[in-house]
Chain A
Amino acid sequence: MLNINSITKGIVIDHIKPGYGIMIFEYLKLDKADFTVALIMNATSKKYGRKDIIKIENELDIDLAMLGFIDPNITVNIIENEKITEKINLSLPDRVESIIECKNPRCITSVERGITHKFVLIDEDKGIYKCEYCDQIYSWEG
């Protein structure tokens, strides 16, 4: 069994869907980190069978909306003195900006310079978003 030391002060991103850990790792630019970071892939999970985990030995400002958008089942644990002081359960954010791009070639976002791609959640159960400008549907599960 792989052993990773517990961290003193920092963040544990837990219950990441297997395979998504690397995506979050890259999004948070942890490959450039000068502090201790662990990416654990395919760990055993009682809840989901398998999961990815990221442990970060540092204080870090994380965009929870973005994380929720990548995987709403993620749990973010804030660690102080080796103990969890806060557990944050994520959900799909109501709005996402500059994360996904509208694929509709007739949408204004396809031609305007500097426009921010914005999506609004319209169905939480099915994870369906729509482009704020042209109403093009984006399904979280693809």
Chain B
Amino acid sequence: MTRPSVTWPVVAVVAIGLVWAGHYVWSTVTNPLDSEEAAWLIRPLLWSLVLVAPFVLWTAVGRTLEKLETEDGESLAPLSRKAYVAGLPLLAVAIWVLGFLPATLVYTPLMCLALGERRPVAIALTTAILLAVIWVGFHIGLGIRMPLWPRGLG
């Protein structure tokens, strides 16, 4: 038997893909503007997806890929991976609220610690290099306008 942990994520991907694609096509064709032409490509793509889905599910409930999927060692089980994934939305929000420089100042040391780094000098150096890259490389060198500080301060 294929393990449920191997089967269910595939079923979920297929289900989410089909639901999203169905809604995408439906919302396009029901657009009050003349949108039949806008769905000329996406409608056949939806049907192609529906056609392929059973074959994908068959490989998930069958044993075709079981060996591959249990050997790749990329699960989210290690704590460091969980911490890294959780840090992504937090970083995005921090950049929105604090701006790039404070967000980097907060995110980098905390994430380094969460991933197991215990040398203060290495953490400080990494943070300092990143702050320099943002300020000197991107802001001054490339002249990119970005929110460096919290809104209203920069």
Do they bind each other? no
Interface residues of B (CB under 8 A from A): none
Interface residues of A (CB under 8 A from B): none
